[in-house]
């Protein structure tokens, strides 16, 4: 890796980067839709809605609900989060190769998680998978007044690491992650195994990897 890209600290996205949570998110959304008298959504359709936080996800998932009113958002969002809290570790797993990669990187880098998922659920999932302890900080979509692609999360993590934000590398699977890194002025590593793995969208990544082992090799050489 060129020296200009060698980071002082690593910041990971969660869903689609570290964990495969597609089925549990879909289960929670479809429980909500069933309660509202709507048919279930297929997994692939739900995956395309994920990435910008629970509020955006719920709005997208209920676009066909005739009784939708914006003033009901908090009530509906609370129902979704309750359902998701019940199932968030039922089938969610680390992607293959993530655990050994994190174990190796933990000895070499300071690491954090920056997710648009709420912090409580982000921590619960990482603790349930015995990975939370590897991270210096876990920031969720509700940790700050803004969320990705706003660069405030990366700026806050840079402060906690006592490093210029340009010395961080954000590792993620989506356009939102790419825009966040660009807005902050730091490097972006695109992982191809996540939710957007079949996307045809071309992203402005400094580094593109197809497996956790490939990312590890790039970061330790």
Can you give the residue ranges of every domain in the chain? 3-20+93-220, 22-87
Q: Are 27 and 187 in contact (CB under 8 A)?
A: no
Q: pLDDT value at position 201? A: 64
107 classed as catalytic? no
Q: pLDDT value at position 106? A: 95
* Residue ranges, the chain, pLDDT below 70: 1-5, 197-201
Active-site pick, 13, 15, 20, 24? 13
Q: What CATH fold (topology level) applies to the domain 3-20+93-220?
A: Rossmann fold (3.40.50)
- Relative orientation angle of helices 73-87 and 54-61, to the nearest 10 degrees: 100
Per CATH, 3-20+93-220 and 22-87 having the same topology is answered: no
Q: pLDDT value at position 59? A: 92
Q: pLDDT value at position 199? A: 54
Query: What does the block give as tokens for 118?
Result: 């709420």
Of 185, 143, 189, nearest to 164 by C-alpha is: 185
pTM, full prediction: 0.93
Q: What CATH fold (topology level) applies to the domain 22-87?
A: DNA polymerase; domain 1 (1.10.150)
Of 97, 49, 55, nearest to 74 by C-alpha is: 55
């Amino acid at each position: 890796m060129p020296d200009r890209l060698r980071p002082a600290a690593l910041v990971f996205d969660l869903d689609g980067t570290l964990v495969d949570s597609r089925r549990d998110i879909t289960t929670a959304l479809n429980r909500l839709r069933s309660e509202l008298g709507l048919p279930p959504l297929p997994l692939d359709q739900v995956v395309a809605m994920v990435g910008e936080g629970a509020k955006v996800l719920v709005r997208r998932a209920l676009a066909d609900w005739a009784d939708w009113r914006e003033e009901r958002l908090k009530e509906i969002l609370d129902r979704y989060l309750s359902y998701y809290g019940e199932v968030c570790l039922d089938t969610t797993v680390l992607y293959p190769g993530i655990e050994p990669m994190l174990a190796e990187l933990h000895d070499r880098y300071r690491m954090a998680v920056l997710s648009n998922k709420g912090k409580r659920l982000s921590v619960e999932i990482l603790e349930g998978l015995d990975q939370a302890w590897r991270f210096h900080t876990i920031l969720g979509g509700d940790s700050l007044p803004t969320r990705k692609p706003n660069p405030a999360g990366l700026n806050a993590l840079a402060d906690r690491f006592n490093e210029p934000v340009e010395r961080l590398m954000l590792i993620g699977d989506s356009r939102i992650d790419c825009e966040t890194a660009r807005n902050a002025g730091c490097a972006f590593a695109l992982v191809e195994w996540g939710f957007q793995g079949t996307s045809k969208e071309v992203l402005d990544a400094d580094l593109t990897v197809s497996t956790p082992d490939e990312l590890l090799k790039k970061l330790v050489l």
